[in-house]
Structure 1
Amino acid sequence: MNATTPLVGEPLAIDLVNTVTAEGDLLEDTDALGAWLALEADRLPGFDGDADRAALQAVRSVREHAAAAFGALAEGRRPPESSLRGLAAAVNAAPGRVRLAWDGTAVAASVRREGAAAERLAADLAQAAVDLLTDPAVAKLRRCGAEDCVLLFVPAHPRRQWCSPERCGNRVRVARYYERRKAER
């Protein structure tokens, strides 16, 4: 796994925010957006549009608002009001109708949104951000402990320090090892 591959597996809104890394924007064009949407397809089943310019612009807008809100929370500050308004506007731009259905073992809920594909995608991503912002788990939100990493994560374990053991954890541990060896000489 390298820094040009999007990190996935965190809450959807954090995965979106983490598409901006210290190395740059991983959603630099419609092809990159399409690749990211393919990685997140199981969490965005309602999106049936193309990763076109409108979708890219809408996703980047939601990402900007979510990043400002989550970044502030990670630093112990109040989220900017403009970011909260931006997320609410994105959700409200494609109103949804909840459908409940019995799947044989439990009741499953799905939301069918109205509007253009880009608006529906932005609304789903903004809703994921709203859901996390209002979840008590957001209090655990952290920034990666590696000095040169800007990614966020919600730790399942309180001792977790890095966005990913493969991406930053190993790199930091190897650097510490070499520093110890150098000091022993």
Structure 2
Amino acid sequence: MADLEPLIGEPLALDLVNTRPLGADLLETPERLADWLRLEADRLPEPPPSHLTGGDLAAVHAVREHTASILDALFGGRRPPAAALRGLTDAQTAAPAVRRLDWNGDTVTETPARIGAPGARLAAHLADAAATLLTDPAVRRVKKCGADDCVMLFLPAHPRRQWCSPERCGNRVRVARYYHRHKAAD
């Protein structure tokens, strides 16, 4: 089913939250997580781990749930749960950020990196993406899809955007409206 394909192209943290469409989990297994990571590979600082474990999946799920919980609170005008904020910080701390030093033959260079197990580095990067989104004033513009049966979130580039995807929900809503108008005329 097309609606069970990951929706990508939003800020990485929203893409992660959007892996929970209504009644489904698109990151249900380490293999499904690997598939999603391949779709997002150009947005990751390092290649995804070659072998993902249940523990890696649990760490990513935790980041996703913390991010969703914080966004839900912000949508409701409430204070984000302290446990969710702490959870994102814990994910970042599990793979500390360092400035890796190297020599390029002429001068010392630095490259930002995270140290730790591959799954912890992945969860830390996703927590970083969540922190970037949540601290950006643009987070106030994040919207829920206007389709009744959709829970996807998006950051609209245009203020009149109503749906997570014009091809998915936008088309479905337009077809339903058309059908309803023509059925009522009969």
Q: Distance in 2 between matches of 1:110 and 1:69?
A: 31
SS at the partner of 2:6?
coil
Counterparts in 2 of 1:184 and 1:64: CA distance versus 1, 3 Å: same
Query: SS at the partner of 2:3?
Result: coil
Check if 1:172 corresponds to 2:179: no
CA distance change for structure 1 residues 155 and 100 in 2, over 3 Å: closer, same or farther?
A: farther
Q: Unpaired segments of 5 or more residues in structure 1?
A: 102-108
Q: Distance in 2 between matches of 1:46 and 1:138?
A: 26
Shift of 1:128: 0.3
How far apart, CA to CA, are the structure 2 residues paired with 1:15 and 1:132?
11
CA distance in 1: counterparts of 2:30 and 2:115, whole angstroms: 22
Compute the RMSD of aligned alpha carbons: 1.8
Whether 2:71 is the aligned partner of 1:91: answer: no
Query: Quick one: distance in 1 between partners of 2:25 and 2:6?
Result: 10
Shift of the 177–29 alpha-carbon distance from structure 1 to 2, 3 Å rule, reads same
Q: Tell me how far apart the structure 2 counterparts of residues 31 and 44 of structure 1 sit (CA, whole Å).
A: 17
- Structure 2 length-normalised TM: 0.90
Shift of 1:78: 2.2
SS in 2 for 1:20: coil
Say which SS state the counterpart of residue 155 (structure 1) adopts: coil
CA distance in 2, matches of 1:8, 1:51: 21
In structure 1, what is the Cα distance between the partners aligned to 2:178 and 2:8? 28
Contact 1:74 1:143 in 2 (8 A): no
> C-alpha offsets along residues 53-110 of structure 1, whole Å, 9 cap, x if unaligned?
2211110010010110112222332221111110011111111124699xxxxxxx95
CA–CA distance in structure 2, aligned partners of residues 100 and 39 of structure 1: 30
User: Which secondary structure state, in structure 2, belongs to the residue aligned with residue 25 of structure 1?
Assistant: coil
Displaced runs of 4 or more, over 3 A? 98-101
The total of aligned residue pairs comes to: 178
Is the CA contact 2:34–2:48 (under 8 Å) kept in the aligned structure 1? no
In the other structure, the counterpart of 2:118 is 117
| Bigger-Rg structure (1/2) | 2
In 1, Cα distance between the equivalents of 2:154 and 2:28? 22
Distance 1:181 1:85 in 2: 52
User: What residue identity is the alignment partner of 1:168?
Assistant: C
Identity of aligned residues (%): 59
Partner amino acid, structure 2, of 1:124: H
Partner of 1:81: 82
Report the counterpart of residue 130 of structure 1 in structure 2: 131
Q: Where does structure 2 lack aligned partners over 5 or more consecutive residues?
A: 103-109
